[in-house]
Structure 1
Amino acid sequence: MVGETAENKAGTDEKESATAFRDRVRSAVIWRSGSQILAQIITWASTLLVIRLLNPADYGLFAMTQAILAFLTFLNGWGFASALVQSDSVDPFRIRQAFGLLLLLNAMLAAILFFGGPLAAAYYGQPKVAELLRVQSLLFLAIPFIALPEVIMSRALDFRRQAVVNLAAATAGAGTALACALSGFGVWTLVYAPLAMFWTRAIGLTILARLLVWPSFDFKGCGQIIGFGSAILFSQLFWLVQSQSDVFIAGRLFDPHALGLYAEALFLSQIFMAKFVPPLNEVAFPAYSRIKDDPAAMRRGFLKTVRLLMLVSAPFYCGLTVVAAPLVETLFGPKWLGMAPYVQHISLALMLMTVQILFAPVNNALGKPSVTMFVSLGGAIIFPTTFLIGSHWGLIGMAWAWLVAAPLLLLYTVRLSARLIGLSLWDIVRAMLPGLAPALMMAIGVELAAELIVPFHWAAPIRLGLLVGLGVALYGALLWTFEREVIAEGIQIVLRRDPAADPGLTATPGQDAI
């Protein structure tokens, strides 16, 4: 039976006040982002220790399996469950239908991965890939017990209980990774740690959400779930083609050691976009869904999100570009220094990708997942094409391809998506500039200091500390000099300033939601 789920709570006050809704959105952002940051600190501490114990070839083999795994993940049915968030109301039978769909799809994917492992191993010419994939098929069996509780709780903007489970899962994964690495499990360390995380989340979310339901395999009347979910499904497919095509291409052309360097450069460069932006989008989707009939509120909320996110992401990516070498040597060790040039190129491209992925929750909340699908289709064409061309110049050529593909995809996304809420390219650029312009100036200053002031023969940790300190001070000074209004806006949100003092922070029709 269905217990007291977050959905029950969401329906108790359909006409909550603007202040209450604004506070719920802010609380959701704080819990989701805060728990993500803490979980990542736990995970990264473990990851950095594990990286020093394993070899680049281990990460190369694991990257090969991830390319295959990701291409199947788009079929896991998460989009069908997400349809429950966008709907105006949800009844218990629809929840049971969604659960039935999730169980069927993920059982099928687990079987495909288990029996299809040898084909993937033959493609790469690495027999061990088959064994790794077969064990990872267990990941799909956990997904129904993660997706359904998560979307129901997200619908009610209940991210506090999710945060508890995510922290427990991060701890379980980190502990498993360290234990396996120290025990000499090699590449299997990278397989068992995600399994521990997934199953901890599955059990924890199901218990805390009290979502114990019998699945229904009677799919009559679930057209909205199928329609919305199918568009999300194809969007995920195209996104995976875009995001995994470089490893898929490189895995056949280059040896595991070289691929391991490139794969870990991707990991380091994508930390912000992959780990911190998706949690914000998870909150943004249900929040936008609540104000989908007020384009003005969505427009202001979206621009505010871009503006504030760039204040953090732009200095991160620009700084990563100029301190890549000492950062890699300090965190990963000298044997990983070959990944530094890849980090420098990919980081610059990801500044634009961070803005590009913010459009998806807006499109989906407006009931236009087809627009997200066509945007993803564009990425699935642009990125593989540039990677294929860049591969003629080796892995560094593929890193350069990011700098061509990312701006093209952002322009295409703005062309399709921005008009839905009445925005232009110039509106987006103006929202980016308060964070982007000072970050670029900071990067130039830090690069000059690295060349002229900080000696190259100093130890990597010392160089890194000095350059990071200089970058933080310079960026802060530039913001304080030129962008005090944006700083004040961020402080107002964090300190929960009374909306009466700033109408732009009130989430009513015609006001911001985020």
Structure 2
Amino acid sequence: MAEADPDLLRSPPPVPAPPSPAPPSLAAQVRTAVIWRSGSQVLTQIVSWCSTLIVIRLLAPQDYGLFAMAQVMLVLLSTMNGWGLASALIREEHVTEERLRQTLGMLILLNFGLSLTQFLAAPLVALWFDEPMVTQLLRVQALLYLAVPFTALSHAILSRRMDFRRPAQVRLAAAVVGAGTALTGALSGWGVWTLVAAPMMMMLTEAVGMTRAARAPIWPSFRFAGAGHIAGFGGVMTATQIFWFIQSQADVMIAGRVLDPHSLGVYTTGLFLAQLLASKFVPPINEVAYAAYSRQRGEGQSQLIAPALLATVRLVMLVALPAYAGIAVVAPVLVPVLLGRQWLEIVPLLPILSAAMAMMTLQILFAPATNASGVPMAALRITMIGSVVMPSAFFIGSHFGLTGFAWGWVGGMAVLMLATVRLSGRIIGVTIGGLARAILPPLAAALAMAAGVALLLAALPPLPDIAALALAVVLGVGLYGGALHLIAPDRLAEALRFARNRNHADDADEAAEALPLV
């Protein structure tokens, strides 16, 4: 029998595996995160506002009044619900399964305590407002805290991975569930319980969805050895939130004592309109920024946080400054189109409030950088300053009616912004000169745009408000883009580079300068 060819008996040489694709860069992850987080925020708000506008027409004003009374305690206790504990995990270099279970245990104990506190204190709140129904509302809403631990922990886990796609999908699904619940309740005659049931269903949906998306542990550990630094970091962030509550709610607390209900409604509605950008769309960017800054620090690149923050400022103010300038100048036609002519008293407030919100937008961009740098005390000090400055400004403004409160925002935010730049900039390494170079080009272009739009509105013949608004928006976009191209064409190029995820810088410092939020 012929012998087999030994070459045929040998194993074939191994075929080299194709090279695995390189993991996405931090820049690519940030770009994707911003798109998903901000984009989902827009869709979520659209769903929420559409259902809200329908529900408002179906419920009675007293339903909203009762709900607002209950919200006072809910908002206060929510500042202590432990999101800071979960946020501490984002900046950790290594996180074990045991650490996750310990954090979950802390969150469960804390939120159970808040739930019990609200349940027991509900009659006292009802007595303060002289509305017995508030007791029932608060006691049912006490269940909301039980969902927080699972949502907060899952959010921290996904933020560490720079995965904002799945949380965005979960939040959108929760918004749809909440909207469906609200419409069902309003159409079925649930009254004020509609406003209670909708957020509860949203929280439950988000807790389940986020836990599944993050594959987070659901069994807590109540042995906290070695987790003291997480509790300390979370405690500082919780204290920050409490002072933020005082700072941000002082105007309504004071205005409610000196203004009649009609004037208070005008003021709060105007403030809501002016704050849309700062309160709804900047926080998602800060959420991504905090995760990205923490990643940089964990990789030993803390020196890149300052240029990254400046890049974030350039990107955000590129959009925010023309938005605020536009709101200020088109207020006479914007208010009747969005809210109706019965809200025209808001018009003189919007230009003042827009100036304040521009400063506020810049000021709130600093906290993620200082927290990620391991100095949460900086944000705490700033909110402590704000908890004195803002109430003082509103108290002074209260002597001058509605516009006095608006100017109180301007004066208070000017002081608070300067304090933030000085204290936080020293920690991060951001100079006033660097900040000015980041802000001045879009500011100059926005002011030029506002002047051109103001001239257009003054020269227009009588037109329907919506037609005048459309013309103003078209002209404003063109003027701003043209002015910015003349003043600082590199800003438009930087924004396009970020949108396209192209970065050709060779060294880390140049990369940080070129990539927002990285």
Asked if TM exceeds 0.5, the reply is yes
Kindly indicate whether residue 331 of structure 2 is the aligned counterpart of residue 324 of structure 1: yes
- Mapped contact 2:312–2:516 kept (Cα < 8 A): no
The amino acid of 1:88's aligned partner reads: E
Q: How do residues 174-185 of structure 1 correspond to structure 2 at under 5 angstroms? A: 174-183=179-188
Q: How do residues 43-58 of structure 1 correspond to structure 2 at under 5 angstroms? A: 43-51=48-56
> 1:236 matched to which residue of 2?
241
The amino acid of 1:266's aligned partner reads: L
Q: Structure 2 residue aligned with 1:484, among 489, 514, 518?
A: 489
Q: Hey, what's the Cα distance between the residues in 2 that align with 1:447 and 1:277? A: 27
Aligned-pair identity in percent equals: 49
Kindly indicate whether residue 229 of structure 2 is the aligned counterpart of residue 224 of structure 1: yes
Distance apart, 1:79 and its partner CA: 0.4
Distance apart, 1:302 and its partner CA: 0.7
Q: How many aligned positions are there?
A: 496
> 1:273 matched to which residue of 2?
278
Q: Hey, what's the Cα distance between the residues in 2 that align with 1:38 and 1:438? A: 29
Distance apart, 1:392 and its partner CA: 2.5
Give the alignment's Cα RMSD to 1 decimal. 2.7
The worse-fitting range, judged by mean Cα deviation, of 174-183 and 277-286 is: 174-183
The amino acid of 2:120's aligned partner reads: F
What TM-score do you get using the length of structure 2 for normalisation?
0.88
Q: Hey, what's the Cα distance between the residues in 1 that align with 2:352 and 2:197? A: 31
Q: How do residues 421-500 of structure 1 correspond to structure 2 at under 5 angstroms? A: 421-455=428-462, 458-499=463-504
Q: Deviations over 1:463-488 (max 9, x none)?
A: 32222222222222212222211000
Q: 1:435 to 1:179 in 2, by over 3 A?
A: farther
Q: Structure 2 residue aligned with 1:84, among 89, 103, 125?
A: 89
The worse-fitting range, judged by mean Cα deviation, of 435-444 and 303-312 is: 435-444
Q: Structure 2 residue aligned with 1:375, among 370, 374, 382?
A: 382
Q: Structure 2 residue aligned with 1:172, among 170, 177, 187?
A: 177
Distance apart, 1:252 and its partner CA: 3.9
Q: 1:313 to 1:55 in 2, by over 3 A?
A: farther
> 1:344 matched to which residue of 2?
351
The amino acid of 2:354's aligned partner reads: S
Q: 1:60 to 1:306 in 2, by over 3 A?
A: farther
What TM-score do you get using the length of structure 1 for normalisation?
0.88
- Mapped contact 1:505–1:512 kept (Cα < 8 A): no
Q: How do residues 130-141 of structure 1 correspond to structure 2 at under 5 angstroms? A: 130-141=135-146
Q: Structure 1 residue aligned with 2:30, among 25, 29, 37?
A: 25
The amino acid of 2:170's aligned partner reads: V
Distance apart, 1:18 and its partner CA: 9.3
Distance apart, 1:511 and its partner CA: 8.4
Tell me the SS of whatever aligns to 1:220: coil
- Mapped contact 1:21–1:507 kept (Cα < 8 A): no
Kindly indicate whether residue 62 of structure 2 is the aligned counterpart of residue 38 of structure 1: no
Considering Cα pairs closer than 8 Å and 6+ residues apart, tell me whether 1 or 2 has the greater RCO. 1
Q: Hey, what's the Cα distance between the residues in 1 that align with 2:409 and 2:203? A: 30
Structure 1 residue runs of 5 or longer lacking an equivalent are 1-15
Kindly indicate whether residue 161 of structure 2 is the aligned counterpart of residue 156 of structure 1: yes
Q: 1:256 to 1:195 in 2, by over 3 A?
A: farther
Kindly indicate whether residue 409 of structure 2 is the aligned counterpart of residue 394 of structure 1: no
Q: Hey, what's the Cα distance between the residues in 2 that align with 1:441 and 1:86? A: 41
> 2:422 matched to which residue of 1?
415
Structure 2 residue runs of 5 or longer lacking an equivalent are 1-20
Q: Deviations over 1:5-33 (max 9, x none)?
A: xxxxxxxxxxx979622222222222212
Distance apart, 1:184 and its partner CA: 5.5
- Mapped contact 1:314–1:435 kept (Cα < 8 A): yes
Q: Hey, what's the Cα distance between the residues in 1 that align with 2:77 and 2:489? A: 46
- Mapped contact 2:236–2:376 kept (Cα < 8 A): yes
Distance apart, 1:502 and its partner CA: 9.2
The amino acid of 1:47's aligned partner reads: T
The amino acid of 1:351's aligned partner reads: A
- Mapped contact 2:367–2:379 kept (Cα < 8 A): yes
- Mapped contact 1:438–1:479 kept (Cα < 8 A): yes
Q: Hey, what's the Cα distance between the residues in 1 that align with 2:149 and 2:185? A: 27
| Largest Rg, 1 or 2 | 2
Q: Hey, what's the Cα distance between the residues in 2 that align with 1:344 and 1:133? A: 37
Q: 1:480 to 1:182 in 2, by over 3 A?
A: farther
The worse-fitting range, judged by mean Cα deviation, of 342-351 and 117-126 is: 117-126
- Mapped contact 1:63–1:260 kept (Cα < 8 A): no
